[in-house]
Amino acid sequence: MKNCWYDGKTVIVTGASSGIGKDITEKLIKEHRCRVIGIARNEERLLALKKALGVRSDRFTYYTFDVSVKENWEDFAKAVKSENLKPDILINNAGILPKFDRFLNYTVDELDKAMHINFYSCLYSMNALMPVILQSDSAAIVNIASSAALCSLAGTSVYSASKAALKSLTDAVREEYRRDCYIGLVCPGFTKTDIFRNQGAPVGSTAQKAMDFISTDCERMCNLILKGMKNKRADMVFGADAHLMSVGNKLLGTVCSHASSAVMKASGLDLFAKVFK
Ligand SMILES: NC(=O)c1ccc[n+]([C@@H]2O[C@H](COP(=O)([O-])OP(=O)(O)OC[C@H]3O[C@@H](n4cnc5c(N)ncnc54)[C@H](OP(=O)(O)O)[C@@H]3O)[C@@H](O)[C@H]2O)c1
């Protein structure tokens, strides 16, 4: 990807220790000469990423904090100012996928946690960092939501709600700042990352194989995201499953959710067993 507007820019990436955030970080540094400020909690993995970047490792710095805590963003914004980091782009990528389950089987703490990590973290980061991002002549914010924001599936109530909230926030802020800042929303479908680690599907199980079958490769997903960013696309829906959910929901509304439930049920996978009990 040559001559791209974000070549050489300074980018903040949340969730840089794993999956999509890690791959995007590597690509921004290796292919676009960007400086990346990564954020996540697992220092071991961030350090491993820095080492793996070899001669380019000086282009990667990281901060370890929990993105769901408002005060952490206030402290980070102070550090950005005092260390004169001058970020151009913020990529809100950190997120979790709670175990597929029925709404009443989640505790309120679990629901709160998912909303805070997937939605409030982005609200806090945008509130804390937009003033400094807007000073850049390449100001940009990219929020990684999910196809779940476009069509809610049974078993994903809080995940879908958190991502739909992020979509609404992004759409409104984009409209308000359209002259000052590129604001993109990504709705990926299933992507091969460790996000499914808590779903209880052992490696090699039918459930794992089925998830792999419908999932897009992480590297391909990251290439699509970076290409979408290059073209300053506002809405980015990536992955065959995500397109199906997006179009299905537009055309069929709740019938699309019913059809998805029927497929999940018919699959007989343990993964969804509790959802349809
Ligand atoms: N994979 C998919 O199928 C898929 C589909 C649609 C959307 N997405 C979205 O894509 C994004 C990335 O997911 P992924 O698949 O790459 O998952 P992943 O491999 O599990 O990575 C998640 C990242 O988020 C970070 N994170 C989670 N909670 C955090 C917290 N409280 N504070 C700071 N960092 C936190 C993790 O870092 P630490 O653990 O080190 O803190 C990790 O770096 C998520 O927003 C997810 O919802 C994924």
- Tens digit of each residue's pLDDT (9 = 90 or more) over 46-60: 999 999 999 999 999
Evaluate if residue 188 carries a pLDDT over 90. Answer: yes
The average pLDDT across 104-130 equals 98
Rounded distance from Cα 240 to ligand 1 centre (Å): 20
Q: Does 193 contact ligand 1 (Cβ within 6 A)?
A: yes
Can you list the alpha helix ranges (DSSP code H) found in 134-273?
Answer: 157-176, 206-214, 218-230, 240-252, 254-267
Q: Does 139 contact ligand 1 (Cβ within 6 A)?
A: no
Domain boundaries along the sequence of the chain:
10-272
Rounded distance from Cα 189 to ligand 1 centre (Å): 14
The fraction of the chain above a pLDDT of 90, given in percent, is 85
Evaluate if residue 1 carries a pLDDT over 80. Answer: no
| Residue 5 confidence class, pLDDT cut points 50, 70, 90 | very high
In Å, how far are 84, 91, 144, 242 from 173, measured between CA atoms? 25, 15, 15, 23
Pick the CATH number of 10-272 from 3.40.50.720, 3.40.630.30, 3.60.150.10, 3.50.50.60: 3.40.50.720
